Amino acid sequence: MKSEAKSAGKAAGKAGRAVRAPGGLSVRLDVRALTVVVLLLLAALAASVVLIGTGDFPITAGDVLRTLGGDGNAGQEFIVNELRLPRVLVGLLVGASLGLGGALFQALSRNPLGSPDILGLGQGATAGALVVIVLFSGNAAQVTVGALVGGLATGLAIYLLAWKRGVHGYRLVLVGIGMSAIMTAVNGYLLTKADLVDAARAVVWMTGSLSGRDWAQVWPMLALCAVLVPLVLAHARGLRMMEMGDDVSYALGVRVERVRLLLMLAAVLLTAAATAAAGPVSFVALTAPQLARRLTRSPGPNLLPSLCMGATLLVTADWVSQRVFGADQMPVGVVTGVLGGVYLLWLLVTERRAGRI
């Protein structure tokens, strides 16, 4: 028994370290998770610098950094600050939003397949955007509003249909899969009713792309993340307790349904806003939390590592699409779809071998 207690203590020491702040506040610091977050941030920044320098007019990383610091020439200032920097910032914010939203849904459903891609939120946001494009020939701002409304309406419908003395994991996933099928059918119907120009515009948007993104997409995403990310991280402790079950969470003082509803609303908003900004970029929300968990080797939702992983994945995928196929020849949603589809097949095989599905 003593040896078991010692080994458990050593494992706990490796997993995290208690830090005492003034006033008696104690915070548990997971050193490995913090290291992963720092490394992912550095990777995202490095990929962003390389991506800014990639295009028809290549710019070295050193010149990119000098231009961002205000020391570039007039041509570099225009290309970097007006054309490429907004696109990269949208990619970082969209990837971070999808990674965090996916981590929230997987934690709330307690299912690795509980991501916005599987639950139909992306399809719902797409339906809202298609209604604006096909029926009203709306502009970019109206399409963004339509995607937000469609995502929120789909999230509300899933929550209400999954409610039965609370919302539980597998019921949420099953309702989401059904809603995804319905929204996919609706999207197909809307495309058949569109004229050729609107249909082509809709298909490009549905692929998921960062092409043509400017500061008009950066500021709304930045404002939304500035509000929702601290709110979500403030409820991380309650979310981690909820993974032990509702009864245990209630006993520990967590207001389960209130926290669940708040975090689901935040996840829906993050997903809908990301879809509105870049279209339905697939599989980032599914893969980012799982990859983050494998890197941190830590239980729990891993919210901050998932956020950083999502940002890194999306800017890296955008760099791959431009490097391999040329600027704007391959939308980033195609690259993430191929990579994510392979990962999903691997995940399903792993879960089946483990006897969880």
Check the CA dihedral 128-130-133-136 and report its sign.
negative
Taking every pair of Cα atoms in the chain, the longest distance, rounded to a whole number of angstroms, is 74
- Of 161, 179, 180, whose CA–CA distance to 171 is shortest? 161
Closest to 247 (Cα-Cα) out of 257, 237, 232: 257
The secondary structure of 48-84 as a DSSP string is HHHHHT-SSS---HHHHHHHHTT-S-HHHHIIIIIII
Q: CA-to-CA distance for 143 and 129, rounded, in angstroms?
A: 5
27 beta partners? 19
Rounded Cα–Cα distance for residues 267 and 198 (Å): 30
Q: What domains can you pick out in the chain, each with its CATH number?
A: 29-352 (1.10.3470.10)
212: which DSSP letter?
T
Burial of 166 from C-beta contacts in 10 A (0-12 / 13-18 / 19+)? exposed
Tokens representing residue 170 in the block: 């597998």
Instruction: Yes or no: say if 313 and 284 are a contact pair by the CB < 8 Å rule.
Output: yes
What was the pLDDT predicted at 250? 66
pLDDT value of residue 246: 63
Count of all residues that appear for the chain in the document? 357
How far apart are the C-alpha atoms of 101 and 269, rounded to whole Å?
8
Q: Give Cα separations from 255 to 72, 168, 249, 259, 349 (angstroms).
A: 53, 15, 8, 6, 36
CA triplet 305, 113, 124: central angle to 5 degrees? 95
Nearest CA to 126 out of 21, 24, 231, 276 is that of 276
Least Cα distance to 286 among 111, 168, 129 occurs for 111
Residues 6+ apart with CB under 8 A from 296: 30, 32, 33, 36, 302, 305
Are residues 295 and 36 in contact, defined by beta-carbon separation less than 8 angstroms?
yes
pLDDT digits (tens, 9 = 90+) for 36-50: 999 999 999 999 999
- Residue 289 contacts residue 298 (beta carbons within 8 Å): no
Phi–psi pair at 78, nearest 5 degrees? -65, -50
Burial label for 1, CB within 10 Å (0-12, 13-18, 19+), is exposed
The DSSP secondary-structure symbol of 163 reads B
Which segments in the chain show pLDDT lower than 70?
1-29, 165-170, 244-253, 326-329, 351, 355-357
Q: Which two tokens stand for residue 223?
A: 């404002």
Residue 1: the pLDDT is 40
Q: How much is the pTM?
A: 0.85
